């Protein structure tokens, strides 16, 4: 469930940000998405990419542990 | 378990960050003076004077030069200062800059706007350095003139300016932001102070010159440099600088006033001196019909510091008389300065336009575009009231009690 | 899990502290009403009064169903599914604003102090601190506020006095008053000043229900809003009289620029870091409040304790902080052209105004129902 929420939030935030960028830059949706995902060489954008990935892994781990706990309780 | 993950992430984030912005004190040189000259090949020629910190420590006996300079050419200040390290060992830090010398050639031909922007934009630069236009010699000589008392040349200039502002008022008290505000403003023209070198700058470079009692070279203040937008238009004398400051915010000054009635020539030139202490000045601009009027109200408190006139200071009538004389005299002085600025430059350095903007916004909007012409043709009206309060620790002058001269 | 059953309670004082720092946080970074030049403080004064009105409207809504937060109110008024859907929109809104606020701060830090440090690192580390604080719960958050508030308050006040005694203030800069008439002021108040920083208090609809003495919460928050409004006016006046209108228009971080003028006795100088301190705490509070509100919404939607989601969501926020704009100009332009009209106004005024009548109707029915049950 946490993973699901994570994905919903991640995609939702992306859509929101790209909508606003579309409004500001007057570009099409795909151009904006492309711009958001291109990692500029030399900047440190990989850092936040990594952070988000850590977040994703964390949410999977949390989900797994939640399920395990639930199973134990039921047993 | 969750805590462990949390701790792990915290630690890793610390490891990742490191210290990007750490700078050790040993790795920086503090710049105190910057000089800008026109470049030969490129646009500017920048000279920085940075402090040789170990020389300044009181423990070590005085030897070596207190500052060291480096000159480079380039097209913009940030570029040149970043490139300085081709000859300078340490990173240059500009946050303690005390003086910015601008060659008058640069100010006249190129304008100062293009590099002032980089100074305003950079958070390293504070707003506490003086903008100085160099008259005569090229600007790069100024950060090198040694001074036995302050050692660091630019610090000397700054202290000098601070002291004269306190005692006499020969500097327009303009900082970077004031200057830029004035460039932008429609109702005020920018000014800066100007400096010259007296003596031989080549000799002044040498630290040995500090051994001499009479310094071979000295930096002197030389009044106001008037700008039209960001280009130098001309200079005003030190007297005019003081008078300018009187209309703005004068701390204290000294005026010498002839004893006789105004215009009347005395056989002997006799004067009395007033030390002006408290000043209040208000600037008003208004229109009578189509004619602009500039009005300055000045109220000053004074203390009498010398008396050559043959008058009895123990009487209150004498005080009144002297007050009237001095008010008239000061008024004429200030009117003359304003008239001079009107005639010579036609640039409103006093901020009358800003006053109009505050006092009559609609009218100010109307004349905003041609304010300088309006200023040039405006009527000037200065009201001065000098109040003499006391006369030191004597009342009558001993001169008045000297027996009459034999010659009579 | 035991942890999740920790009672979350705020005292009234803590609520006031959070409200106060929330209000002055972002304002201390970017300033308000800079376009209005010398009249900015008038606009702030008017919008403070209006802001107090808005807050009492929010409180009135909360009073209809005591103990229920914003998301639960929406479920009551819109029904289960529609309520949750709109709740999700609110979560996006809160997270997005949290990202913007954090970006403000990151820009300040990277321009003024850490010029070489990548902005990503600052966003990640700040978010780490905030995530940890939120993870420990609302109480810890409140207590952190209590510890810092004396410093924040005194420093804010002292900055004004210090600039005054440095002789850098020119009160003539406040003239002419309302030279262009009241038109520009009104245009500026709505929607920009009213939504930021006052309308943003809608996030407190998630926090106020956890206050121990809920009855007094309304009075306390209105008073706090008025007090913080006065501090904002104070700050704005400092900025105007110190910087002058010309500079105020050009400066990016007004309060910081004003503090740079401070020079007392040739000894107390270069105190702009104090401003950064105020700003840092203000921003931590502000981001935390938005983050917490968003998390509470997720908790309501998914029925999983928000503590599980703190870490993943924190990474999303630090990610979004960087992603929302490529450069500072874009960030500011979004803040002026898009955010007030299309995000603040709908979420702060239109939606609450929509569900208010529904809420009244539903709660009335409930109350009547419970009354009739009791009489039986």
Give me the pLDDT at residue C73, please.
83
Cβ B123–C111 below 8 Å, yes or no?
yes
Residue B353, SS3?
helix
Instruction: Name the residue among B287, B296, B264 with its Cα closest to residue B380.
Output: B296
**Mean per-residue pLDDT of chain C:** 83
Worst-scoring range by mean pLDDT, A39-43, B273-277, C256-260, C269-273?
A39-43
The chains in contact with chain A, meaning 3 or more Cβ pairs closer than 8 Å, are B, C
pLDDT at C375 over 50: no
Residues of B with CB below 8 A from C178's CB?
Answer: none
Give me the pLDDT at residue B265, please.
61
pLDDT digits (tens, 9 = 90+) for C300-315: 888 888 888 888 888 8
CATH architecture under which domain B238-408 falls? 2-Layer Sandwich (3.30)
Residue bearing the bigger pLDDT, C245 or C87: C87
Transcribe B247-277 into DSSP letters: HH----EEEEEESSSTTPPPSS--EEEEEEE
Residues of B with CB below 8 A from C112's CB?
Answer: 123
Give me the pLDDT at residue C373, please.
47
Q: Which of residues 292-321 of B touch C (CB under 8 A)?
A: none
> What average pLDDT does this structure show over C58-71?
83
CA separation for the pair B171, B173 (Å, rounded): 5
Domain count, chain C: 1
Q: What angle do CA C350, C352, C354 make, to 5 degrees?
A: 65
Q: What is the β-pairing status of strands B191-199 and B130-134?
A: parallel
Residue bearing the bigger pLDDT, C374 or B171: B171
Q: B184 touching C, CB under 8 A?
A: yes
Instruction: Name the residue among B378, B296, B284, B290 with its Cα closest to residue B339.
Output: B378
Give me the pLDDT at residue C1, please.
41
Cβ C121–B357 below 8 Å, yes or no?
no
Residues of C with CB below 8 A from B126's CB?
Answer: 260, 270
Residue C74, SS3?
helix
Instruction: Name the residue among C319, C106, C311 with its Cα closest to residue A37.
Output: C319
Count of C-beta atoms within a 10 Å radius of residue C282 = 25
Backbone angles phi, psi at B90, to 5 degrees: -110, 165
Burial label, C69 (beta-carbon count in 10 A; 0-12, 13-18, 19+): buried
Helix or strand (DSSP H, E) at B217: strand B217-228
> What average pLDDT does this structure show over A14-35?
81
Structural domain including C25 reads: 10-323
Chain B positions touching chain A (beta carbons under 8 Å) = 1, 5, 9, 16
User: Which residues in C78-94 are b (16+ Cβ under 10 Å) and which e?
Assistant: beeeebbebbbbbbbbb
Domain count, chain A: 1
Q: C118 touching A, CB under 8 A?
A: yes
SS3 sequence, B88-157? CCCEEECCCCCEEEEEHHHHHHHCCHHHHHHHHHCCCCCCCCEEEEECCCCHHHHHHCCCCCCCCHHHHH
Query: Could you report how far apart the first and last alpha carbons of chain B are, in Å?
Result: 112
Query: Could you report how far apart the first and last alpha carbons of chain C are, in Å?
Result: 40
Sequential pLDDT tens for chain B (408 residues) = 778 788 877 776 665 555 667 777 778 888 888 888 888 888 888 888 888 877 767 676 666 778 888 888 888 888 888 888 888 888 888 888 888 898 888 888 888 888 888 888 887 887 788 888 888 888 888 888 888 888 788 888 888 888 888 888 878 878 888 888 888 888 888 888 888 888 888 887 877 777 788 888 888 888 888 888 888 888 888 888 888 888 888 888 888 888 776 556 656 677 888 888 888 888 888 888 888 888 889 888 888 888 887 777 788 888 888 888 888 888 888 888 888 888 888 888 888 888 888 888 888 888 888 888 888 888 888 888 888 888 888 777 777 777 665 544
Q: Is residue B122 within 8 Å of residue B81, measured between CB atoms?
A: no
Instruction: Name the residue among C326, C197, C214, B116 with its Cα closest to residue A27.
Output: C326
What percent of chain A stands above pLDDT 90? 0
pLDDT at C369 over 60: no
3-state helix, strand, coil in chain A (%, to 5): 85, 0, 15
CA A49 to chain B, closest CA, distance in angstroms equals: 14
CA B265 to chain C, closest CA, distance in angstroms equals: 43
Cβ B9–A47 below 8 Å, yes or no?
no
Q: Is residue B241 within 8 Å of residue B170, measured between CB atoms?
A: yes
CA separation for the pair C305, C296 (Å, rounded): 8
CA B407 to chain C, closest CA, distance in angstroms equals: 56
Residues of B with CB below 8 A from C244's CB?
Answer: 177, 181
Residues of B with CB below 8 A from C260's CB?
Answer: 126-127
Residues of A with CB below 8 A from C121's CB?
Answer: 44, 47
Residues of A with CB below 8 A from C316's CB?
Answer: 6, 9-10, 13, 52, 55
CA separation for the pair A8, C302 (Å, rounded): 12
What percent of chain C stands above pLDDT 90? 2
Q: Is the bond preceding C247 in cis, omega lying within 30 degrees of 0?
A: no
Cβ A58–B5 below 8 Å, yes or no?
yes
CA separation for the pair C130, C122 (Å, rounded): 12
Q: Is residue B254 within 8 Å of residue B168, measured between CB atoms?
A: yes
Q: C171 touching B, CB under 8 A?
A: no
> What sign results for the dihedral spanned by CA atoms B242, B246, B249, B255?
positive
CA separation for the pair C260, C273 (Å, rounded): 9
Cβ A48–C323 below 8 Å, yes or no?
yes
Give me the pLDDT at residue C240, please.
87
Residue C116 inside a domain? The answer is: yes
Chosen from B3, B14, B16, B20 to mutate, greatest number of chain A CBs within 10 A = B16
Q: Is the bond preceding C197 in cis, omega lying within 30 degrees of 0?
A: yes
Residues of A with CB below 8 A from C308's CB?
Answer: 2, 62, 66
pLDDT at C205 over 60: yes
Q: Identify the closest residue of chain C to A23 by CA–CA distance.
A: C338
Give me the pLDDT at residue C75, please.
85
User: Which residues in C246-275 are b (16+ Cβ under 10 Å) and which e?
Assistant: bbbebbbbbbbbbbbbbbeeeeeeebbebb
Cβ B181–C246 below 8 Å, yes or no?
yes
Residue B68, SS3?
strand
Burial label, B169 (beta-carbon count in 10 A; 0-12, 13-18, 19+): buried
Q: C323 touching A, CB under 8 A?
A: yes
DSSP annotation of B25 reads G
> What sign results for the dihedral spanned by CA atoms C103, C104, C109, C111?
positive
> What average pLDDT does this structure show over C3-28?
77
Q: Which of residues 7-66 of A touch B (CB under 8 A)?
A: 47, 54, 58, 61, 65
CA separation for the pair C340, C333 (Å, rounded): 11
pLDDT at C109 over 80: yes
Q: A67 touching C, CB under 8 A?
A: no
Cβ C132–B358 below 8 Å, yes or no?
no
Structural domain including A19 reads: 2-74
DSSP annotation of B403 reads P
Burial label, B71 (beta-carbon count in 10 A; 0-12, 13-18, 19+): middle
Question: CATH number, domain at C232?
Answer: 1.20.1740.10
Where along chain B do its domains lie? 22-236, 238-408
Q: C289 touching A, CB under 8 A?
A: no
pLDDT at C370 over 60: no
């Amino acid at each position: 469930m946490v993973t699901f929420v994570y994905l919903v939030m991640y995609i939702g935030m992306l859509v929101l940000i790209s909508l606003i960028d579309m409004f500001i830059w007057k570009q099409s949706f795909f151009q904006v998405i492309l711009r958001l995902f291109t990692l500029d060489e030399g900047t440190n954008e990989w850092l936040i990419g990594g952070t988000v990935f850590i977040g994703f892994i964390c949410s999977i781990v949390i989900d797994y542990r939640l399920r395990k706990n639930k199973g134990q309780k039921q047993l | 378990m969750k805590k462990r993950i949390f701790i792990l992430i915290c630690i890793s984030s610390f490891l990742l960050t490191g210290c990007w912005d750490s700078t050790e004190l040993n790795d920086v040189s503090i710049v105190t003076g910057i000089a800008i000259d026109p470049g030969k090949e490129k646009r500017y020629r920048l000279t920085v004077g940075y402090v040789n910190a170990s020389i300044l420590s009181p423990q070590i006996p005085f030897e070596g030069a207190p500052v060291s300079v480096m000159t480079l050419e380039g097209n913009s200040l940030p570029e040149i200062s970043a490139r300085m390290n081709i000859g300078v060992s340490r990173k240059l830090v500009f946050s303690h800059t005390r003086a910015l010398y601008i060659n008058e050639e640069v100010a006249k031909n190129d304008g100062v706007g293009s590099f002032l922007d980089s100074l305003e934009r950079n958070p390293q630069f504070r707003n506490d350095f003086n903008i100085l236009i160099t008259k005569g010699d090229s600007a790069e000589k100024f950060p090198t003139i040694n001074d036995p008392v302050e050692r660091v040349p630019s610090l000397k200039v700054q202290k000098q300016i601070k002291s004269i502002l306190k005692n006499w008022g020969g500097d327009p008290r303009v900082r970077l932001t004031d200057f830029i505000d004035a460039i932008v403003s429609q109702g005020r023209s920018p000014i800066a102070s100007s400096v010259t070198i007296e003596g031989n700058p080549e000799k002044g470079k040498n630290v040995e010159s500090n051994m001499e009692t009479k310094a071979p070279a000295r930096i002197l203040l030389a009044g106001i440099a008037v700008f039209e937008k960001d280009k130098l238009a001309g200079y005003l004398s030190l007297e005019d600088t003081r008078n300018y400051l009187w209309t703005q915010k004068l701390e204290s000054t000294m005026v010498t006033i002839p004893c006789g009635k105004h215009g009347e020539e005395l056989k002997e030139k006799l004067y009395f001196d007033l030390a002006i202490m408290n000043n209040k000045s208000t600037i008003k601009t208004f229109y009578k019909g189509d004619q602009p009027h500039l009005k300055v109200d000045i109220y000053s408190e004074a203390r009498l510091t010398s008396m050559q006139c043959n008058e009895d200071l123990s009487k209150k009538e004498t005080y009144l008389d002297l007050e009237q004389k001095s008010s008239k005299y000061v008024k004429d002085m200030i009117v003359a300065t304003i008239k001079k600025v009107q005639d010579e430059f036609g640039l409103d350095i006093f901020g009358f336009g800003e006053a109009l903007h505050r006092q009559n916004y609609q009218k100010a909007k109307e004349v905003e575009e041609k304010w300088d012409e309006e200023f040039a043709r405006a009527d000037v009206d200065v009201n001065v009231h000098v109040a003499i309060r006391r006369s030191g620790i004597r009342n009558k002058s001993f001169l008045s009690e000297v027996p009459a001269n034999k010659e009579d | 899990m035991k942890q999740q059953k920790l009672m979350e309670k705020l005292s009234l004082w803590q609520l006031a502290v959070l409200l106060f720092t929330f209000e002055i946080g972002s304002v201390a970074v970017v300033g308000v009403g800079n376009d209005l030049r010398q009249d900015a403080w008038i606009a702030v004064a008017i919008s403070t009064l209006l802001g107090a009105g808005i807050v009492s409207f929010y409180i009135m809504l909360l009073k209809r169903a005591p103990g229920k937060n914003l998301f639960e109110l929406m479920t009551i008024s819109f029904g289960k599914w529609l309520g949750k859907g709109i709740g999700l929109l609110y979560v996006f809104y809160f997270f997005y604003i949290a990202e913007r606020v954090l970006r403000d701060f990151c820009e300040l830090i990277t321009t003024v102090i850490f010029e070489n440090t990548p902005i990503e690192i600052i966003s990640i580390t700040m978010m780490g601190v905030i995530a940890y604080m939120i993870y420990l719960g609302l109480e810890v958050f409140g207590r952190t506020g209590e510890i810092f508030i004396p410093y924040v308050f005194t420093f804010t006040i002292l900055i004004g006095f210090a600039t005054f005694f440095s002789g850098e203030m020119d009160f003539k800069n406040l003239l002419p008053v309302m030279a262009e008439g009241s038109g520009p002021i009104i245009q500026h108040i709505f929607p920009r000043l009213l939504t930021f920083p006052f309308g943003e208090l809608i996030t407190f609809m998630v926090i106020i229900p956890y206050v121990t003495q809920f009855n007094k919460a309304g009075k306390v928050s209105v008073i706090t809003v008025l007090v913080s409004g006065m501090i904002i006016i104070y700050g704005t006046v400092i900025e105007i009289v110190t910087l002058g209108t010309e500079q105020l228009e050009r400066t990016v971080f007004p309060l910081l620029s004003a503090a740079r003028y401070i020079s007392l006795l040739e000894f107390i100088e270069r105190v702009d870091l104090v401003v950064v301190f105020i700003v840092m705490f203000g921003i931590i509070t502000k981001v935390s409040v938005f983050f917490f509100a968003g998390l509470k919404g997720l908790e309501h939607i998914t029925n999983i304790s928000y503590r599980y989601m703190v870490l993943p969501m924190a990474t999303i926020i630090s990610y979004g902080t960087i992603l929302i704009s490529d450069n500072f100009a874009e960030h500011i332009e979004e803040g002026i052209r898009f955010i007030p009209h299309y995000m603040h106004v709908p979420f702060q005024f239109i939606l609450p105004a929509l569900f208010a009548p529904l809420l009244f109707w539903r709660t009335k029915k409930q109350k009547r129902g419970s009354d009739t049950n009791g009489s039986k």
